[in-house]
Amino acid sequence: MRKCLLTLIFFDTEHGQIGCTTCHGGNAQDPDWRTAHQDVIRDPSYPNSMQACGGCHEKICVANQSGLHITLAPFRKIIFARIGTASPEIMAAVNLAMGTHCAGCHSSCGQCHVSRPNSVEGGFVEGHLFQKKPPMATNCTSCHGSRVEKEYTGKNKGFAADVHYRKRHMKCIACHKGSEMHGANGRVTGRYQAANTPSCIDCHSEVISKKPKIEVHRTHVPKLQCHACHSIPYTNCYGCHVGKDDRGLPYYQLDRSEISFKIGKNPIPTNKRPHEYVLLRHVPTNPNLFNYYVKGAMKNFDILPTWKFATPHNIQRITPQAKRCNACHGNKKLFLLEKDIIPLELKANQVAILKEDEVPLKR
């Protein structure tokens, strides 16, 4: 009954007035549903959103075609940077592996505003009704769940939810606006290089004012990233391996994951994020990632760190490392040191590691 009601409501909306075949194809004049549905397009907004959405939303669609949710550009750029120059056979094997394991997590206009993404089994959010603001639980965190959702909503056992969620119940779109989601970011190597990503000071501008209210901000900003003081431990994953099981079904397997906290040198300083010291998150990669498909593909593995710039979504006003000066100063456990790195990744992470004599002294 509810599905029928939602269908009737949909046909009264602007999108419902357009007609099914305008977006999905098929033959509306054919009385036989089996032949009427031939060549129907399930998601007309992917891979080219201009065909279905561009007629009314041209400006957004033009930008969105280069958006990171559709292109997954950073994945390819980072992987191929680690591979470097390789033979056609190696490149073909890596492309096959990425197409099988890495390329399925894309989204599209329809998979944000009408349904859940296909990579998390799809399904309408509310019938065929279009959602101007995608719901956080069914769309945002259905993909960004293992780290972002658990950190933000307090699902990591023993760790509080982010203060923005706990106190204000703020949704993802409070910070991540449509201009970022629809941005033409396909040329960047990662989301932190995009120009329209949010920053703490977008709301907390007093931190960088000439006379900040809190004294410690005068001595630590902008040298220290906000998260270094205001985040708590977060998820770090190690060593991903992909392949197929005996039935030919693709799988991935992590070596391990852990909740930890590490401050290190900023591996990607920019004008927007000039900090010298930042939080780092270990990403699940290793030189043997694609060994099932081709051995030794990542000959250029050390060109990028495996401990990368991070902005955990678990902000707290007061944290253990910020309760007093010496909770951080002189506390070597908080900092990424050479002894924390496995030998296989030592060369790759030189840009992020602190030497022991670089750890801030006790005060």
- pLDDT of 198 higher than 60: yes
Interval 65-69 mean pLDDT: 87
Instruction: Output b/e per residue, 73-95; b: 16+ Cβ within 10 A.
Output: bbbbbbbbebbeebeeebeebbe
- Dist. CA 159–CA 150, nearest whole Å: 10
Express each pLDDT in 214-270 by its tens digit: 889 999 999 999 999 999 999 999 999 999 999 999 999 999 999 999 999 999 998
Interval 295-317 mean pLDDT: 96
Tokens of 233: 């431990």
- Dist. CA 179–CA 8, nearest whole Å: 32
- Dist. CA 178–CA 290, nearest whole Å: 35
Interval 140-153 mean pLDDT: 94
Angle formed at CA 312 by CA 309 and CA 318, multiple of 5 degrees: 120
Of the ranges 28-32, 185-189, 312-316, which is most confident?
312-316
Query: How many helices (H) does the chain have, and how many strands (E)?
Result: 15, 5
Mean per-residue pLDDT of the chain: 92
The per-residue DSSP string of 84-139 comes to -S--HHHHHHHHHHHHHHTGGG---HHHHHTB--GGGT--BSBTB---SS--IIII
Give just the sign of the alpha carbon dihedral 77, 83, 89, 95: negative
- Dist. CA 234–CA 148, nearest whole Å: 9
Cβ count within 10 A of residue 151: 24
- pLDDT of 210 higher than 90: no
pLDDT at 2: 65
CA distances from 113 to 45, 65, 108, 127, 274 (A): 11, 16, 9, 11, 35
Instruction: Output b/e per residue, 224-238; b: 16+ Cβ within 10 A.
Output: bbbbbbbbbbbbbbb
pLDDT at 1: 57
pLDDT at 347: 96
- Dist. CA 296–CA 241, nearest whole Å: 13
Residues 6+ apart with CB under 8 A from 212: 206, 218, 221
Q: What are phi and psi of 305, to 5 degrees?
A: -70, 155
> Which DSSP category does 22 fall into?
H
Pinpoint the alpha helices (H) of the chain.
2-10, 14-18, 20-24, 33-36, 58-64, 68-71, 73-83, 88-101, 109-113, 141-143, 150-153, 163-168, 178-181, 215-220, 226-230
Question: Any idea which residue has 């060549």 for tokens?
Answer: 39
Amino acid letter, residue 318: I
Using an 8 Å Cβ cutoff, are 263 and 340 in contact?
no
